[in-house]
């Protein structure tokens, strides 16, 4: 254990699986990360209440049958591609389903990239008087099956930083390729509040546009203006939508939140996450505020000039954060 009151970081085993725990003893916050399963921060306790949602009772259950929970990372594409071909730098690239390195949705579209459950390597775990943090690394270029699907050599680093009552998630992409690397990454975190039933939750969506989706849940290239000004109640409401044109503050950040009676979880997007997917299915006690670098299927839609596509310059890097801020727990 490395400790500097009130923050500490501990590397140990949970159900025989390596985990890293970040703690703030003053605010009674504890974050647990499992590097070997996608570097997922699968637990965020505040005064004993779980901010993240999980369908499992143990980490061993998660390892035995991985499914979405906590804070999954989606790369090198987030959400769906509308077929087995995608565009980058004026060229067509083809995905090979026979390699077994990606999943498909109910419409047989590749979904959520290649690394959701990949093993990451911890490179730093430290604490001082201001924060506790852990940085892990994934060397994408080392895996032949990944490179066969997405032939842009790169490294990924993810830092979880617990400080001042909030969790910052920092993502860094290092492009090792000789060409610009198209960027379509994001996170799919699952949140909950406990002091009100799901249908009594209120949701704030700081968005100006809703992206129109086709029958296979990929964008048509169109969007509609959003006119709602106040919080949205979830009673009778199903959300599975893509939003853009976020309403940002002077720092360029946009704050989404869900609130029960007193408990609230805010998710603050950095400016390089200009797209939000919001998912709140009926009858389920969670909501997902998903920070994205681009809309669903952005490789192909970007090539068509319908939506912006970010890229990382050859031998360059990209970095952005989002923050999770619980209150009232």
Mean pLDDT, rounded, for 315-324: 98
Q: How many CB atoms lie within 10 A of CB 137?
A: 17
Burial 302-325 (b: 16+ CB within 10 A, else e): bbeebbebbbbeeeeebebbbbbb
Going by C-alpha positions, the residue among 170, 151, 150 that lies closest to residue 160 is 170
229 Cβ partners below 8 Å, 6+ apart?
Answer: none
- CA 127, distance to chain mean position in Å, is 24
The answer to whether the beta carbons of residues 143 and 156 sit under 8 Å apart is no
Q: What's the whole-model pTM score? A: 0.96
pLDDT of 23-78, one tens digit each?
999 999 999 999 999 999 999 999 999 999 999 999 999 999 988 899 999 999 99
At 230 the pLDDT is 82
- What is the per-residue pLDDT across 271-307, written as a single tens digit (0 to 9) for each? 999 999 999 999 999 999 999 999 999 999 999 999 9
**What distances in angstroms separate CA 269 from CA 44, 170, 208, 249, 286, one per listed residue?**
18, 11, 15, 11, 19
Question: Average pLDDT over the chain, rounded to whole?
Answer: 96
Classify residue 56 by burial, with Cβ atoms within 10 Å: 0-12, 13-18, 19+: middle
201-248 tens-digit pLDDT: 999 999 999 999 999 999 999 999 998 778 999 999 999 999 999 999
């Amino acid at each position: 254990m490395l400790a500097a009151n009130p923050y500490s970081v501990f590397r140990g085993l949970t159900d025989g699986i390596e985990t890293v725990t970040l703690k703030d003893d003053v605010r009674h916050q504890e974050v647990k990360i499992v590097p070997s399963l996608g570097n997922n921060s699968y637990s965020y306790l505040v005064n004993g209440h779980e901010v993240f949602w999980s369908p499992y009772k143990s980490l061993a259950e998660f390892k035995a049958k991985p499914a979405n929970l906590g804070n999954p990372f989606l790369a090198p594409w987030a959400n769906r591609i509308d077929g087995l071909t995608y565009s980058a730098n004026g060229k067509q690239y083809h995905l090979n389903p026979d390699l077994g390195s990606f999943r498909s949705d109910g419409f047989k579209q590749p979904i959520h990239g290649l690394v959701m459950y990949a093993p990451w390597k911890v490179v730093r775990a430290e604490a001082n008087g201001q924060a506790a943090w852990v940085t892990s690394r994934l060397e994408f270029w080392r895996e032949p099956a990944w490179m066969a699907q997405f032939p842009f050599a790169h490294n990924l680093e993810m830092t979880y930083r617990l400080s001042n009552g909030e969790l910052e998630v920092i993502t860094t992409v290092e492009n090792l390729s000789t060409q610009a690397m198209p960027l379509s990454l994001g996170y799919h975190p699952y949140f909950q509040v406990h002091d009100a039933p799901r249908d009594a939750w209120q949701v704030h969506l700081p968005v100006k546009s809703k992206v129109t989706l086709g029958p296979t849940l990929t964008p048509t290239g169109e969007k509609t203006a959003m006119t709602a000004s106040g919080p949205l109640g979830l009673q009778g409401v199903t959300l599975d939508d893509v939003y853009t044109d976020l309403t940002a503050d002077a720092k360029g950040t946009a704050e989404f939140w869900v609130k029960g009676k007193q408990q609230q979880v805010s998710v603050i997007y950095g400016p390089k996450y200009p797209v939000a997917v919001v998912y709140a299915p009926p009858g389920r006690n969670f909501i997902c505020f998903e920070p994205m670098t681009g809309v669903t299927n952005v490789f192909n839609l970007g090539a068509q000039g319908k939506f912006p596509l970010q890229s990382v310059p050859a031998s360059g890097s990209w970095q952005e954060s989002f923050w999770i801020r619980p209150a009232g727990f």
